[in-house]
Structure 1
């Protein structure tokens, strides 16, 4: 098949970029001809492009025409869209539909119903916009704390809801939790065809390493992710302070706005590794007794827990959204009350006294996130749309 992948990169790299690259590589390995239309919001960081960004975020006519022309010129048979915010706008979805080819869109977040995409406000879960309308986001300036930027994003999604942009598009939820939430929101504010919403996890690629048994793992735990509020870094460091001398070593991998604060306040049992390449990060995961996932939001896909489980590593997860749903209590990790440092400290102590079947954890995760099964699911989506 000739397949077009469409994606707009954020100014800071993130998980959506990694999924876009992984699925592109997956399709190419299976012999498909993959054509890519990708842009970056970095293009609109300065000058006239920045001034025009609010208009283009709502309707980028040039990008829409380029996508339609590309589909016709390259004889595209299926289009898979990832992110359209901000520079591409949902207009590219309408343009792809207009050519008559099947269109699939992955929902990497809850942006269809929440301008900031993560259903989080002031450090707690917020579902005001899905239930009461996008004006709630304006009142609280939910997108980057800016009234103007929030208005732009809200306007884009309000307009394209009214136009039915996502009608007739196969929408992909990353987890069953996401699917339930999206259907709940869509029932109150119809935006897409409910019978076209399917679940397909992201592909999870980790090295084919020998899974270390529990007894051979280092007495350490790993926090991996962007060093920011919504990932629960403050909660993690507070829990380690409460544990004191009995705390295991904690490795912190990643960078972010809380980096300087974290390095200044962390105790002696905490070691900061900075931003690591994937192979080095996975090596630390595979050697550790557990990965700590303390997210304060639903998360659209719990990638770090998925990678940890694929390496046979248990996860200490906040009992919230996709992070909590990814853990089977006592089998491949433990859950704790989100935002509660004391509860996390208790989970750390409880886990240290347990024994886990790391090989069984890895085998179950690899079945769930198997790349070949992911490919077969993609192909079914593309071919189903063609019938």
Structure 2
């Protein structure tokens, strides 16, 4: 099959699960013998430490977001040369832009993987003032995002993204020009339906782990817990640290991997903490796998609607159970008392009580580990994901034929 993959890479300074998912799909398709071409660009092109170039980059990004005519022409040229049977789009923000939806040939199926909610919510994550907000989704209008300045807390920055959303809705592009949406969970699928997408257009295909799985025996693991992710408010990192503060000196070692806007604040917070929290910062992929595989638990304390955190599939691939906040799609991915632990979002006390109870019962935690690996084998291998992707492609081709 001839497949054109489309993706706007996020900046290299901020490692992105979306970038990884795109590359995983690309490598998976090539591995199975498909002819794959890509149409990509990177947000690094509009970023600079220089004040003048940085400002110009923001202007270019802002003007490109609603409709980038140059990107549309490049896309049309690649399509005419490569002649794909399927066009699979991951991310178009900010440089590729939704302009390609208007220029895509009517006879070729368009598949759109939804890593976030930016087609309906200018903030991409339905969150405002660190609280869940679905006003733009439920009202099917980006107006509220302009009122509150949801993107980067700025009405000016929000304007081009809101215009992009408005265009998509006004011309009904989301239901007419896209053949199939790929959601990561049934929760996300239901939210898309609330946003106005026909349920018949949505298929569920979770993320997968593309590396070699390697179950690590419990007695070979070390006594620490790991957090891997961006250091920002919506990720619940402050709630996690406060839970460790409640736990006190008897808490196990917590290793925090990642960086972000709260890194400096967290460093200050940890100055008054005992030695049982370590801020490791940004690590390369190999080091992250090693940290996850040797840990006894991964914690994802998110306080927003996630897509499908890659770290869950990666943890399960090593038999590491995962503790998650009971919010959004997370309880659909992690089953309480089976392959992980659920705790109340925004609650350091709930996180502390639930995690400590398992930490003090290592035999039960080991059972979660065994089940986590079994979950990976059943749902999140490359083979399973490939079969689902092919079914989606073939179904989309049949719709267009």
Kept after mapping to 2: 8 A contact 1:317/1:327: yes
* TM-aligned CA deviation for residue 216 of structure 1: 4.1
Report the equivalent of 2:306: 299
Report the equivalent of 1:189: none
* TM-aligned CA deviation for residue 273 of structure 1: 1.7
Query: Over the residues paired in the alignment, what is the CA RMSD in angstroms?
Result: 1.7
Mapped to 1, the partners of 2:383 and 2:281 lie a distance apart of 32
Kept after mapping to 1: 8 A contact 2:208/2:310: no
Mapped to 1, the partners of 2:76 and 2:153 lie a distance apart of 35
Q: Deviations over 1:216-272 (max 9, x none)?
A: 432210011011111111111111111111100101111111112212222210112
Q: Deviations over 1:284-342 (max 9, x none)?
A: 21221211110010101132222212221121211111223322111112111111111
Tell me the SS of whatever aligns to 2:79.
helix
Kept after mapping to 1: 8 A contact 2:338/2:371: no
Residue 224 of structure 2 is aligned to residue 220 of structure 1: yes
Alignment gaps of 5+ in structure 1: 187-191
- Of 223, 235, 239 in structure 2, the residue corresponding to residue 235 of structure 1 is 239
* TM-aligned CA deviation for residue 99 of structure 1: 5.1
Tell me the SS of whatever aligns to 2:152.
coil
Q: Which moved more, 1:374-383 or 1:46-55?
A: 46-55
Mapped to 2, the partners of 1:241 and 1:48 lie a distance apart of 44
Report the equivalent of 2:397: 386
* TM-aligned CA deviation for residue 381 of structure 1: 1.8
Count matched residues. 380
Tell me the SS of whatever aligns to 1:384.
helix
Mapped to 2, the partners of 1:278 and 1:327 lie a distance apart of 23
Kept after mapping to 1: 8 A contact 2:65/2:161: yes
Mapped to 1, the partners of 2:186 and 2:313 lie a distance apart of 14
Kept after mapping to 1: 8 A contact 2:213/2:317: no
Report the equivalent of 1:252: 256
Q: Which moved more, 1:266-275 or 1:291-300?
A: 266-275
Kept after mapping to 2: 8 A contact 1:212/1:286: no
**Residue 274 and residue 99 in structure 1: after superposition, are their counterparts in 2 closer, same or farther (change >3 A)?**
same
Kept after mapping to 2: 8 A contact 1:207/1:279: no
Report the equivalent of 1:370: 381
**Residue 298 and residue 51 in structure 1: after superposition, are their counterparts in 2 closer, same or farther (change >3 A)?**
closer
Kept after mapping to 1: 8 A contact 2:253/2:276: yes
Q: Which moved more, 1:362-371 or 1:49-58?
A: 49-58
Structure 2 matches for 1:166-315, cutoff 5 A? Answer: 166=174, 167-169=176-178, 170-186=180-196, 192-213=197-218, 215-266=219-270, 267=273, 268-315=275-322
Structure 2 matches for 1:1-387, cutoff 5 A? Answer: 1-11=1-11, 12-45=14-47, 46=53, 50-96=58-104, 98=105, 100-132=107-139, 133-166=141-174, 167-169=176-178, 170-186=180-196, 192-213=197-218, 215-266=219-270, 267=273, 268-354=275-361, 355=364, 356-357=366-367, 358-387=369-398
Kept after mapping to 2: 8 A contact 1:118/1:297: yes
Q: Deviations over 1:167-221 (max 9, x none)?
A: 24211111111111111222xxxxx4431111011222343323323x4432210
Given the two structures, how large is their TM-score scaled by the length of structure 2?
0.90
Tell me the SS of whatever aligns to 1:19.
helix
Mapped to 2, the partners of 1:210 and 1:302 lie a distance apart of 20
